[in-house]
Amino acid sequence: MVDRRIPNLHDLAPLMQFKRPTFDLKAKRLREALTIEDLRRIAKRRTPTAAFDYTDGSAEAEISLRRARQAFRDVQFNPAILHDVATVDTGWDVLGKRVEQPFGIAPTGFTRMMQTEGEKAGAAAAAAAGIPFSLSTMGTASVEDVAEAAPDGRNWFQLYMWKDRDRSMALVDRAAAAGFDTLLVTVDVPVAGARLRDSRNGMTIPPSLTPKTIIDALPRPWWWVDFLTTEPLAFASLDRWSGTVAELLNTMFDPTVTYDDLAWIKSQWPGKLVVKGVQTVDDARRVTDLGVDALILSNHGGRQLDRAPIPFHLLPDVVREVGGDTEVHLDTGIMSGADIVAAVALGARFTLIGRAYLYGLMAGGREGVDRAIEILSVEIARTMRLLGVNSLDELEPKHVTQLERLVPRVRG
């Protein structure tokens, strides 16, 4: 039998913890977002379909992106127990300077289309967190705007080689003059990938007001208020464009770029040079022999060649081949701090986030980017503690097992 009694007020008082009402709805929704996937769901509600799908989608059947994310899900962590992990250090040197986290913001195009604060929000948030920010050639803020938004930040510039080489290198010169210390040369876009969501949405730059887009805008008036009451959306590094994204890429980008061109770019740039878009061990060796400061294993977030190699699967082989000669960085598929820890354990010196940052931007502007960085940073520190390590240097391949889902068929 259980003895029952009437509770008195003294017993109830500690349980009655009513929160004060919050009138800052943006702060509330960002505080309640506990994962990058939570930010993605908020972003989808608040952003027109064409803009959201440009960020969220990839090429053709979107197999590459799904496989990249699945590869991180297929990680088994192997923790060590009974280690003092009261403190952890989540930073170390990348390309000769300290970063406070082993990730930075990847270059993304058309960023102000996702949310009007765009690259300025990303650069300022990255500077506040002590991590690098990368500005895309296809960005909607100029190198000068980014330098002004984050004067104390570590800013990198991403270069696509155009058919007009003089204009390409003029951008590089402007980046150097603005204090950008690293050049990311993207090498996996000889032509545009088949981004079918964009084609089906009829996406143009800037967005077009059509019956379809107007209907889509009705539940998202705040996006259109921002879009229509701020500076017109345009590329900060090139003339205004009124066609589709694929038409723009195919008109501008040079499919004749070779290793000789990469060597020439290296001779022109005074800072660190990183090659983005390496997808084989052989190419990793070749760009390393060219003397680059780092390479990024990347399939462009699955946005170019569908069924491309999975960067995270390539990582151990590339680190074995060139890790002693250059830094190996990685992007594509990262959605959590645990993903980043797994990459570092397998030899990545650094990682880059693209969609994860943009989900935060769409969910809440600068504050949303801050929240995305905070979520990943907390997850990194927690994962390190649970693995029994105090610093990134202590992470080793033994901490990670890559479970096999896609195994190449052995040829007879």
Enumerate the active-site residues: 300
Q: Is the distance from CB of 379 to CB of 39 less than 8 angstroms? A: no
Distance of alpha carbon 318 from alpha carbon 326, whole angstroms: 10
**Phi, psi for 235 (deg, rounded to 5):** -75, 135
Question: What letter would DSSP give residue 232?
Answer: P
Per the rule left: phi > 0, alpha: psi between -120 and 50, beta: everything else, 363 is alpha
- Residue the block writes with tokens 């929160």: 19
- Residue the block writes with tokens 């294993």: 297
- Residues with Cβ < 8 Å from 73, sequence gap 6 or more? none
Number of Cβ within a 10 Å radius of residue 265: 20
Q: Is the distance from CB of 123 to CB of 131 less than 8 angstroms? A: no
Distance of alpha carbon 39 from alpha carbon 34, whole angstroms: 8
- Residue the block writes with tokens 């770029």: 257
DSSP 3-state assignment of 162?
strand
Number of Cβ within a 10 Å radius of residue 333: 25
Distance of alpha carbon 253 from alpha carbon 251, whole angstroms: 6
Using alpha carbons only, give the angle 142, 145, 147 rounded to the nearest 5 degrees: 110
As a whole number of angstroms, the longest Cα–Cα distance in the chain is 88
Q: What is the DSSP string of 129-150?
A: HT--EEE-TT-SS-HHHHHHH-
